[in-house]
Amino acid sequence: MKFYFPDSQDQVSPTYNFIKDEYMDGRVRQRDDFYAHQAVTPAPYDGLLVSKAIVDGSVKGSGKYTAGQQRRLYRDGVHKFFALPPGMRSLGDCGAFNYINEERPPYRVDEVLDFYFRCKFNSGISIDHVIFGYKPDASEHEADEAWRNRRKISLELAEAFIKEAEKRNRKTLNEKEKVEPVGAAQGWSPDSYADSVVQLQKMGYKRIALGGMVPLKTHEIVDCLKRISEVREQGVEFHLLGITRVDSMEEFAKYHVTSFDSTSAFRQAFMDERNNYHTPDGSYMAIRVPQVDGNPTLKRLILAGMVSQSEAIKAERQCLKLLRSYDADEGVEVHEVMDALRSYQALLGDDKKLKRVEDYKKTLVDRPWRDCSCKLCSKHKIEMVIFRGSERNKRRGFHNLTVLEAKMRKLPLT
């Protein structure tokens, strides 16, 4: 089972100063910062997924790449641009979530293939249109008209896509620069997904990406995979788009799922209310220490004269000082750290978040970062569980990816 991590230009600075909370002078993000596969060893995923919508933008607006980054990606190719290690695969897609509200995808087949071939991807997924709805017993005639149209559009574009991809591959002399076409299957039920797979196989696809399954419950995904397996041709493999269900991966593999992609483990580091720092056996809540000059709520309170800026800075620094002294075994007790965290959080006037401070005690008592052998935890120690700015939060996300990768290695999958 291969794990692909979707790129969203998430990087960290290897020279960031955590004590001063500042970057090194002369730092150039595009040149100096690290992606997850550069920040930890071994790389925490088998491949990188890059969406055209992230690079070039879509109907929602510009992407996350600067004009200079776009040019460099097209010039150097995905492997050189991301400094991918030998053997790491690259997979391109269109980023269908970015145009989900449109009647049709905003890209043409030739535009997408230009993106895949010029950026030298190993594989590229055909243009699809996400169906957000699931009625397991709905026939073709009973399904919502919009769902039927989106499936029809996806299949029509997939047929045009593989024909043009094969034509370009025949003209490409260097085998390493050929792009494996991956067909995108959409559906609203086990039968509709299976029919999409049947049609994609007839077109010649040997690898098929199953889209639109993110909202489905695990048993619903399994029901679809069972039905799909009944129509699967010999040698055809499946990719799950946006799915991370580690506990179910062994069962998914029974139905010829060989790869998946997801940002879930990474995003939980800073998007989840509780499960921020992952371990092999569970997860911990990260300890919030807001930056006085970077927290919108605190800045508003200071500007309104409701909180003293000097008092807030003093409380912030005291929290960080005690956290580091506690981690360094310098005689600071857990209750002292907790008292400082309560005092600082009280300044913000949010009773809900103040009560949440009590949940930090387990993180402090267990010190999970000490049991982790990843490069980031070994180097940064307690900074890894401090919820504060992107440099710490993204590092924690990278750590979570290493935990996911280790779990995948332990599963008896082929």
**Token pair in block for residue 326:** 């506690």
Same domain, 319 and 368: yes
Residue span of the structural domain in which 305 resides: 275-407
Q: Catalytic: 327?
A: no
Q: For 384-390, what is the mean pLDDT?
A: 96
**End residue of a domain, out of 240, 262, 284:** 262
pLDDT score for 61: 76
| 313 CA to centre of own chain | 34
Active-site residue (options: 33, 195, 261, 327): 261
Number of domains in the chain: 2
Residue 135, in any domain of the structure: yes
Same domain, 287 and 180: no
Residue 32, in any domain of the structure: no
Residues with Cβ within 8 Å of 43's Cβ and at least 6 positions away in sequence, in order, are: 36, 37, 85, 88
pLDDT score for 413: 45
Same domain, 184 and 287: no
Specify the DSSP class assigned to residue 280.
T
Spatial distance between the Cα atoms of 88 and 3, rounded to a whole number of angstroms = 11
Q: What is the pTM of this model?
A: 0.94
Same domain, 67 and 147: yes
* Band (91; pLDDT cuts 50, 70, 90): very high
Helix (H) or strand (E) holding 145: helix 145-171
Closest CA relative to residue 158, chosen from 179, 178, 129: 129
Q: For 25-37, what is the mean pLDDT?
A: 92
Helix ranges (H only) for 45-90 are 52-56, 67-76, 78-81
Q: Catalytic: 261?
A: yes
Residue 232, in any domain of the structure: yes
Same domain, 150 and 207: yes
**End residue of a domain, out of 262, 285, 315:** 262
Same domain, 284 and 330: yes
Same domain, 249 and 288: no
pLDDT score for 412: 59
pLDDT score for 349: 81
**End residue of a domain, out of 238, 262, 286:** 262
- With 90 as the cut, is the pLDDT of residue 399 above it? yes
Same domain, 115 and 147: yes
Closest CA relative to residue 343, chosen from 307, 380, 316, 303: 316
Sign for the CA dihedral angle at 214, 247, 371, 326 comes to: positive
Same domain, 254 and 310: no
Residue 24, in any domain of the structure: no
Query: Residue 120 maps to which CATH number?
Result: 3.20.20.105
Residue 38, in any domain of the structure: no
Same domain, 200 and 331: no
Residue 17, in any domain of the structure: no
Spatial distance between the Cα atoms of 342 and 322, rounded to a whole number of angstroms = 13
pLDDT score for 409: 83
* Residue-wise pLDDT tens digits, 127-152: 999 998 999 999 999 999 999 999 99
Q: For 335-364, what is the mean pLDDT?
A: 92
Residue 26, in any domain of the structure: no
Same domain, 126 and 244: yes
Same domain, 149 and 59: yes
Active-site residue (options: 93, 191, 195, 327): 93
pLDDT score for 58: 83
